[in-house]
Chains A and B, each alone.
Chain A
């Protein structure tokens, strides 16, 4: 199943994660993300969570790992469009103190 779509334009690498993020799915997202970051060497990495309905703490590890890698290559790392349920777990871990979170995806359901 497809877990990640990417777009690379003007040195901005957008990684759009599709579906649930848990320990199981994090493995392939991690591998694909890391090879894209290494290959494209972007100046900005956008981690697009608009298509993620569920995320547990494995997602926190996934995000922190990609944030660290982006810093290592000198790229800025941002999270964009998390759903409310995803935002709650990001806030629980205090991710916003470390990583910029932009745009919400909180249309009333």
Chain B
């Protein structure tokens, strides 16, 4: 594959306050490509969903590290990778079903993956139980 034009790597502890830090940092990085307001808002939302999943489900509010990698190519393709080393997902297809949630408080909508796949052009989720989650998202800017 062609070499990326620019890239960024961030490691953040799994604190919920870092949800905003993660999406803002990615937005600032991608802003170099002069995306539309809508494109930036889509990317922020997708990053927020992935990072929230890592905190709430991957690490279940325990301490862990969230890895975020962003790169873009000369054809304005943005690739975002978000990884955790949390508990992993046993059944990825089930987790990705809209409205599916393991949460019992009634406060989680189960729409995280639906948001990621709607707002990004490509979404791949790799996970095994006990081995964390790796999310790869691609968005082609206009």
* A76 contacts chain B at the CB level, 8 A cutoff: no
Q: In angstroms, how far is the closest chain B Cβ from the Cβ of A108?
A: 10
If A22-B19, A23-B16, A109-B37 touch, does A54 touch B107 (CB 8 Å cutoff)?
no
* A64 contacts chain B at the CB level, 8 A cutoff: yes
Which residues of A does B touch, CB under 8 Å?
20, 22-24, 26-27, 30, 54-58, 60-62, 64-65, 68, 84-85, 88-89, 92-93, 109
Residues of chain B with a CB closer than 8 A to A65's CB: 106-107
A-B contact count (CB 8 A): 70
The answer for the CA separation of A24 and B48 in the assembled complex, in Å, is 10
Q: Are A92 and B109 in contact (CB under 8 A)?
A: no
Chain A contact residues, majority secondary structure: helix
The stretch of B83-91, B112-120, B130-138 in contact with A is: B112-120
Q: In angstroms, how far is the closest chain A Cβ from the Cβ of B124?
A: 19
Choose among A22, A54, A60, A109 the residue that contacts B109 (Cβ–Cβ < 8 A). Answer: A60
* B44 contacts chain A at the CB level, 8 A cutoff: yes
Q: In angstroms, how far is the closest chain B Cβ from the Cβ of A40?
A: 21
Residues of chain B with a CB closer than 8 A to A20's CB: 20
* B41 contacts chain A at the CB level, 8 A cutoff: yes
The stretch of B2-10, B49-57, B66-74 in contact with A is: B49-57
Which residues of B does A touch, CB under 8 Å?
16-17, 19-20, 23, 37-38, 41, 44-45, 48-49, 52, 55-56, 106-109, 111-112, 114-115, 118
Q: Are B37 and A61 in contact (CB under 8 A)?
A: no
If A23-B19, A62-B107, A92-B118 touch, does A56 touch B56 (CB 8 Å cutoff)?
no
Q: Are A57 and B56 in contact (CB under 8 A)?
A: no
Q: Are B107 and A30 in contact (CB under 8 A)?
A: yes
The answer for the CA separation of A93 and B17 in the assembled complex, in Å, is 25
Residues of chain B with a CB closer than 8 A to A89's CB: 45, 115
Residues of chain B with a CB closer than 8 A to A23's CB: 16, 19, 48, 52, 55-56
